C-alpha cells in the first residue's frame, strides 16, 4: 500500500492532502508558529492571502516562502523561518524556467469575481485576454474555490466554479501562481511565474485586485493563532481545514457572521462572535433599505443570523477586543461589550474590522484617488466605463474602494466590454442596463454597511504597548512619541520609527500612520497622505529581478 504523503516540518512528519497549502497542512497538524522575528517573537498564519508575510517558512532550503501560498508536496523539507536567512546562491539561471513576453489586448490582474467577469466580457467582445492571479486556483476571496478537489460547499462556491469554466470557454488565457511585482508608466508589467520572468505589455489593463482585511489592533494580535477572518475562511473553504477546534471571531461586517456559521458547519466550536456595531433591530431603517435593494441577499443575511442562533452561537453587539494572551498553547481572548468584560479560551481568534483596498497598482500608475470618510480608505476616481484617470487603466471591484462582490461582478462586465471595444476601435454599445444593476448593488452595500461599523476605529483608547507595525514590531507608544516631533507626513514617521519598512510594505500600519499624522496636522486625508507607492508591489527575489532583466535585456 502506498504511504500517505507527508511534509517534514522541523523533523516532524506532517500528513498532507493533495492540493493543500503548507499553511493548511501545518494548521491541521496543530502547528501554529511558522517563523521567528528578529526581536524573538513568534508568528504564524495571519492574512492567509499572501500579503502579511508572517507565515514564512524555509522550504527545501529556500528561505522566506509564504506557507499560505505554497502548495504542499510529498517529501518537502520545511523548517521554521529564522529571522536572518543564510545567504546562498540561487539555482543557476539556465535551470530557471524560460521567461515570456506577452502583449495581450487586455490584461486582467486578479481572478476574483470582478476579474473573472471582466475577462469573460472582454473575451466575448472579441479581445485577446490574459488573466493573472497570484493563487494557483482562480476565484479570489469571495468565490474562494476548493483547492483539494472537493464538491462545491455551497451556491457561492458553485457560482465560482461556473465562472471559471465560463472564462475558459470564452478563451481567456488564465495563469495562476503569478506574482505581479512591477507596474510602470506606459503599461509595462513585470511578474514572476515559477521562478521565470513574465513581461506584459498590454493595450489595456483591468485591475481587479480586491481588498484585504483591516485588523483589530489590540495587544496580542500578532500571536500565532490570531488570524484574519478571511484566512480562517480560506483554510476551510479552500483546504477543508479548520483554524482550530474552538474559535472566536471579532470585528465588524457580514463576513464575520458568514464565516462563524461556515466554521460551525465544518465542526468548529464557535465560542463567541463580537460585532462592533449595535444590534440590527436598533437599525430598522437600514434593514428596510436592505430588503428594498435586494430581498434575496437580505434574506441570506437573516438566514445566517438564524443559523447562528440555531447553533446557540452568541453574537455580542457593541463588542470590542481588549487583548489576547497565550495560555498553555491556547489563546485567552478578553473582550468588552455592554454587559461588561469577558474572557474566553480558544485555539484561534479571527478578526475582520472592515477592508482596505489593494490599490497598489492603481496608485503606482498615478490613478487619481479620493479619501472616503465613511469607509476610511481611498477610492479611485473612475468614469462610466470604469476607466481611471490613467488612459487604458481600468479598476473594478473592491480595489477601487469597497463595493462588495455583486457590484464587482457588474463593474467587471462593464470594464471588460469597454476595454475590448476600445482595443478594437468599436463603439461600446448600451451599458445602461449594467449601470442600473450597479446602482441597485451599491444601494444594498450602502444599507448593509450602515448596519455595521466600516470606519476605522480610532486608537485614542488603545494601549501604548499595542503593536501597529507587525513587521518591524513598532508599537503605538513609539508612534505617539514620534508624533511629538510633528512629522507632518506618514513618510517622515516611517523613517523615524521604521513603521512600514517591513515585508508587508506598510499594508497594515500604513493607514494607521497616515491617520495618526492627519489627526496631528489637522489636514484631511488624501492619496498623498499615505506612504508613497513604490515597486516592488510585493517583495520579490533578486533572482526573479535578474530573470526579468535578462528577459528584457536592453529593451527598456
Partner 1 sequence: MGRYDVLVIGGGIVGLTAAIASAGQNARVLIVDAGINAGSNANAGSLHVQLQSRFIRLYPDQAPNVEASLPLYLQAVREWERLDALFGSFDLVRKGGLMLAEGEDQLRFLEMKARREEARGLSVEILDRRQLDALAPWLGPQIMGAELCRDEGKLNPLAANVRLRAEARRLGVEFLSDQVVSLHVDGAVVRAKGQGGQVHAAKQAVVAAAWGSGPLLKGWGPPVPSRAEPLHMNITEPGEVRINHLIQHAERSITLKQFGTGQIVIGGGWAAHDRGNASVPSVLAASMLGNVALAARLVPSISRLRVLRTWAGMNTTVDGKTVIGRLPAAPNIIVAVPGDAGYTLGPLVGRAAAEIAAGQPPSFEIANYGPSRFAA
**Binding residue for partner 1, selected from 87, 155, 284, 427, defined by CB under 8 A:** 87
| Closer residue to partner 1 in complex, CB, 16/178 | 178
H or E element in which residue 217 lies: none
CA distance 230 to 233: 5
CA distance 82 to 40: 9
Contact string 30-49 vs partner 1 (x = CB under 8 A): --------x-----------
Shortest distance (Å) from residue 538 CB to partner 1: 9
Establish if 144 lies at the interface with partner 1 (CB under 8 A). Answer: no
Establish if 489 lies at the interface with partner 1 (CB under 8 A). Answer: yes
CA 540 to each of CA 31, 55, 192, 360: distance values in angstroms, whole numbers, following the listed order:
27, 16, 8, 15
Segment 223 to 282, residues that bind partner 1, using CB under 8 A: none
Shortest distance (Å) from residue 521 CB to partner 1: 10
Establish if 488 lies at the interface with partner 1 (CB under 8 A). Answer: yes
Establish if 184 lies at the interface with partner 1 (CB under 8 A). Answer: yes
Establish if 539 lies at the interface with partner 1 (CB under 8 A). Answer: yes
Shortest distance (Å) from residue 138 CB to partner 1: 25
Category of 90 on φ-ψ map: left (φ > 0), alpha (ψ -120 to 50) or beta: beta
Establish if 543 lies at the interface with partner 1 (CB under 8 A). Answer: yes
Contact 368, 380 (CB under 8 A): yes
| Closer residue to partner 1 in complex, CB, 428/535 | 535
Establish if 550 lies at the interface with partner 1 (CB under 8 A). Answer: yes
From the list 404, 405, 399, 409, the residue with the least C-alpha distance to 356 is 399
| Closer residue to partner 1 in complex, CB, 189/355 | 189
| Closer residue to partner 1 in complex, CB, 417/494 | 494
Q: What cell was used for 302? A: 437573516
Segment 514 to 533, residues that bind partner 1, using CB under 8 A: 532
Contact 365, 206 (CB under 8 A): no
H or E element in which residue 337 lies: strand 330-337
Contact 26, 67 (CB under 8 A): yes
Binding span for partner 1 by CB under 8 A among 160-168, 383-391, 415-423, 538-546: 538-546
Helical packing angle, 229-239 and 254-265, nearest 10°: 40
| Closer residue to partner 1 in complex, CB, 275/478 | 478
Pairing of strands 196-200, 100-102: parallel
Shortest distance (Å) from residue 439 CB to partner 1: 37
Segment 45 to 74, residues that bind partner 1, using CB under 8 A: 62-64
Q: What angle do CA 354, 357, 360 make, to 5 degrees?
A: 150
| Closer residue to partner 1 in complex, CB, 184/383 | 184
Q: What angle do CA 68, 25, 142 make, to 5 degrees?
A: 45
Contact 480, 488 (CB under 8 A): no
Shortest distance (Å) from residue 404 CB to partner 1: 32
**Binding residue for partner 1, selected from 136, 503, 518, 520, defined by CB under 8 A:** 503
* Number of residues near partner 1 (by CB under 8 A): 45
Establish if 475 lies at the interface with partner 1 (CB under 8 A). Answer: no
Helical packing angle, 490-497 and 509-521, nearest 10°: 120
Shortest distance (Å) from residue 4 CB to partner 1: 31
Class of residue 176 by CB neighbours under 10 A (exposed 0-12, middle 13-18, buried 19+) = middle
Enumerate binding residues for partner 1 (CB under 8 A): 38, 62-64, 83-90, 182, 184, 188, 190, 485-486, 488-489, 491-492, 495-496, 498, 501-503, 505, 532, 534-536, 539-543, 545-546, 548-550, 552, 556
Amino acid at each position: 500500500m502506498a504511504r500517505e504523503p507527508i511534509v517534514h516540518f522541523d523533523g516532524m512528519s506532517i500528513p498532507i492532502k493533495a492540493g493543500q497549502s503548507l499553511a493548511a497542512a501545518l494548521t491541521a497538524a496543530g502547528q501554529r508558529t511558522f517563523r521567528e522575528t528578529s526581536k524573538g517573537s513568534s508568528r504564524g498564519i495571519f492574512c492567509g492571502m499572501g500579503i502579511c508575510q508572517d507565515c514564512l517558512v524555509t522550504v527545501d532550503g529556500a528561505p522566506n516562502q509564504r506557507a499560505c501560498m505554497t502548495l504542499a508536496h510529498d517529501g518537502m523539507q520545511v523548517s521554521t523561518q529564522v529571522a536572518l536567512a543564510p545567504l546562498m546562491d540561487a539555482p543557476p539561471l539556465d535551470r530557471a524556467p524560460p521567461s515570456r513576453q506577452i502583449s495581450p489586448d487586455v490584461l486582467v490582474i486578479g481572478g476574483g469575481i470582478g476579474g473573472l467577469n471582466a475577462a469573460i466580457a472582454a473575451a466575448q467582445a472579441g479581445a485577446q485576454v490574459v488573466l493573472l492571479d497570484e493563487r494557483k486556483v482562480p476565484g479570489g476571496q469571495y468565490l474562494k474555490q476548493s483547492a483539494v478537489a472537493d464538491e462545491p460547499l455551497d451556491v457561492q462556491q458553485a457560482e465560482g466554479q461556473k465562472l471559471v469554466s465560463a472564462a475558459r470557454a470564452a478563451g481567456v488565457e488564465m495563469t495562476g501562481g503569478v506574482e505581479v511585482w512591477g507596474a510602470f508608466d506606459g503599461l509595462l508589467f513585470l511578474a514572476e511565474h515559477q521562478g521565470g520572468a513574465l513581461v506584459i505589455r498590454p493595450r489595456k489593463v483591468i485591475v481587479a485586485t480586491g481588498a484585504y482585511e483591516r485588523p483589530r489592533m489590540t495587544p496580542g494580535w500578532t500571536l500565532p493563532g490570531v488570524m484574519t477572518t478571511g484566512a480562517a475562511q480560506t483554510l476551510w473553504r479552500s483546504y477543508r481545514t479548520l483554524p482550530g477546534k474552538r474559535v472566536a471571531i471579532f470585528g465588524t461586517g457580514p463576513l464575520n457572521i458568514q464565516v462563524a456559521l461556515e466554521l460551525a458547519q465544518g465542526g468548529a466550536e464557535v465560542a463567541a462572535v463580537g460585532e462592533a456595531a449595535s444590534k440590527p433591530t436598533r437599525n430598522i431603517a437600514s434593514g428596510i433599505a436592505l430588503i428594498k435593494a435586494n430581498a434575496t441577499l437580505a434574506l441570506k443575511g437573516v438566514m445566517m443570523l438564524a443559523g447562528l442562533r440555531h447553533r446557540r452561537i452568541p453574537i455580542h453587539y457593541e463588542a470590542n477586543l481588549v487583548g489576547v494572551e497565550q495560555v498553555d498553547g491556547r489563546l485567552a481572548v478578553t473582550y468588552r461589550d455592554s454587559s461588561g468584560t469577558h474572557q474566553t479560551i480558544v485555539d484561534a481568534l479571527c478578526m475582520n474590522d472592515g477592508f482596505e483596498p489593494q490599490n497598489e497598482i492603481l496608485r503606482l500608475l498615478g490613478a487619481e484617488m479620493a479619501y472616503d470618510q465613511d469607509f476610511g480608505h481611498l477610492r479611485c476616481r473612475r468614469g462610466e466605463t470604469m476607466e481611471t484617470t490613467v488612459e487604458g487603466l481600468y479598476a473594478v471591484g473592491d480595489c477601487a474602494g469597497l463595493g462588495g462582490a455583486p457590484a464587482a461582478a457588474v463593474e467587471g462586465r462593464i470594464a471588460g466590454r469597454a476595454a475590448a471595444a476600445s482595443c478594437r476601435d468599436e463603439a461600446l454599445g448600451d451599458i445602461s442596463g449594467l449601470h442600473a444593476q450597479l446602482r441597485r448593488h451599491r444601494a444594498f452595500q450602502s444599507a448593509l454597511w450602515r448596519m455595521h461599523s466600516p470606519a476605522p476605529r480610532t486608537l485614542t483608547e488603545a494601549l501604548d504597548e499595542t503593536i501597529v507595525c507587525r513587521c518591524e514590531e513598532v508599537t503605538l507608544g513609539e508612534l505617539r512619541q514620534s508624533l511629538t516631533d510633528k512629522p507632518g507626513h506618514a513618510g517622515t514617521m516611517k523613517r523615524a520609527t521604521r513603521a512600514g519598512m517591513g515585508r508587508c510594505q506598510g499594508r497594515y500600519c500604513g493607514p494607521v500612520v497616515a491617520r495618526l499624522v492627519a489627526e496631528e496636522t489637522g489636514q484631511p486625508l488624501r492619496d498623498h497622505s499615505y506612504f508613497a507607492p513604490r515597486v516592488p508591489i510585493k517583495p520579490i527575489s533578486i533572482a526573479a529581478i535578474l530573470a526579468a532583466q535578462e528577459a528584457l535585456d536592453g529593451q527598456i
